[in-house]
Amino acid sequence: MQNIKLSGFLFIVFLALSFGMAVFYMPKGWENVENPTRESIMVGTWTPDFEKSLNESLPVFEPSRNLWGKIQYLLFGQGRKGVVVGENGWLFTDEEFSCLPSSLQHMAENLDYVAQVKNMIEGRGAKLHVVLVPAKARVYEEHLGRNKITQCRKDVYSDVLSFMKSNEITVTGLLDGIKSHKNKDTLFLKSDTHWTPEGAGFAAELVAKDFNLSGEIVKKSYVTEHTQNIEHEGDLLRYLPGVSDEVIRPDHLSVYKTEEVHAEDGAEVSESLDLFGDDVPPVTLVGTSYSANSKWHFAEFLKGRLQVDVFNAADEGLGPFAVMKTYLGGNAWKNSMPSIVIWEIPERYVVVDQSQKEK
């Protein structure tokens, strides 16, 4: 009887403390969410957002999350939703493994959009050059451990290449070249979704081999040099809370600098001059964070490999199709049309809704 009373007392204390903590931290939870509207409450979108914000404001949230993250990784070899854990510290985004509803329909719609973009660009006298970035899991399949590329994803890369070629869209498929070169350099980061600067540089080299610049374009001179090495905390580590650097070592990132080499007498010739004398880059790069993030240096490597100026219209946080729509609807396309548009497309986005954003 005494134990029952004690248990009841402790339960009441627990409820009181929980209620008090929730009331105390409720204003902090409220700070990070929009004010509720009738619509957001009715459709059930506001309550989960508020619950998530409240949980994250509690002082026990961070230690609990880190503890469970460490247990998941060390005991089960798993992380939170968002990451697939391979062997020897290799991590992969779960976007490369997911089998999404209506993926075949989305793929057909996305490829149809690529064909539309080709017609739109060529209709104004420019050319489209697609760069198909293979999934990291496809390149480093030997580091997947117990994981396998899912059946729904197996033929995506080859199907996209076939579509491009059958529709006469110029495309550089990076997979074969990267796989043959990966023993010489690490071309994708172990703890990150993206390629290394060396991977981006090699991709630029492969693009240059397939490139056909007009004879009217006068080239510039660019030189690229390595400046330093830094530690890099990969974007996939956020799905492994509590896992220390001693367990998964940070990636090391090479930092490069690319500069234009001017003629000694100052008589540098622009590669593309319009009627008003404006210096218009003949090449525009459209793409995702593989192109937009300066850490990978992809746009600059293209300058060096092609020896022409490149306008970088890529954007982080958006899929490749949304970025292209933004570019074609903007002033850069309307007012200073390039000779060639390079479109970097990671294969994992081909089977998702065009509105899908990057993680």
Could you report the per-residue pLDDT of 103-117, keeping only the tens digit for each? 999 999 999 999 999
> How many CB atoms are closer than 10 A to CB 217?
19
315 a catalytic residue: no
Give the pLDDT of residue 263.
Answer: 66
**DSSP conformational letter for 98:** -
**Which pLDDT band, with edges at 50, 70 and 90, does 351 fall under?**
very high
Give the pLDDT of residue 343.
Answer: 98
Per-residue pLDDT, averaged over 131-150, amounts to 96
First and final C-alpha spacing in the chain: 55
Q: Among residues 106, 129, 143, 194, which one is catalytic?
A: 194
What is the pTM for the complete model shown?
0.78
> How many CB atoms are closer than 10 A to CB 260?
13
Q: How far apart are CA 334 and CA 82, in angstroms?
A: 38
Answer whether 85's CB lies under 8 Å from 79's CB.
yes
Closest CA to 235 of 192, 292, 294, 289: 192
194 a catalytic residue: yes
* Tokens read off for 54: 């409240």
Q: Among residues 57, 191, 254, 289, which one is catalytic?
A: 289
Tokens 């080239």, residue located: 219
**Which range (29-33, 80-84, 203-207) has the least confidence?**
29-33
Answer whether 218's CB lies under 8 Å from 186's CB.
no
Average of per-residue pLDDT values in the chain: 81
Per-residue pLDDT, averaged over 160-176, amounts to 97
Strand boundaries in the chain, DSSP class E: 83-85, 91-93, 127-133, 170-173, 222-232, 251-260, 283-286, 310-312, 340-346
Closest CA to 50 of 40, 39, 63: 40
Answer whether 54's CB lies under 8 Å from 25's CB.
yes
Percent with pLDDT over 90 in the chain = 60
Per-residue pLDDT, averaged over 141-169, amounts to 96
Instruction: Give the number of residues written for the chain.
Output: 359
pLDDT surpasses 50 at 196: yes
**Which pLDDT band, with edges at 50, 70 and 90, does 318 fall under?**
confident
Q: Among residues 192, 235, 309, 315, which one is catalytic?
A: 192
Give the pLDDT of residue 276.
Answer: 35
Per-residue pLDDT, averaged over 93-122, amounts to 95
245 a catalytic residue: no
**Which pLDDT band, with edges at 50, 70 and 90, does 9 fall under?**
low
Could you report the per-residue pLDDT of 211-230, keeping only the tens digit for each? 877 666 768 999 999 999 99
pLDDT surpasses 80 at 60: no
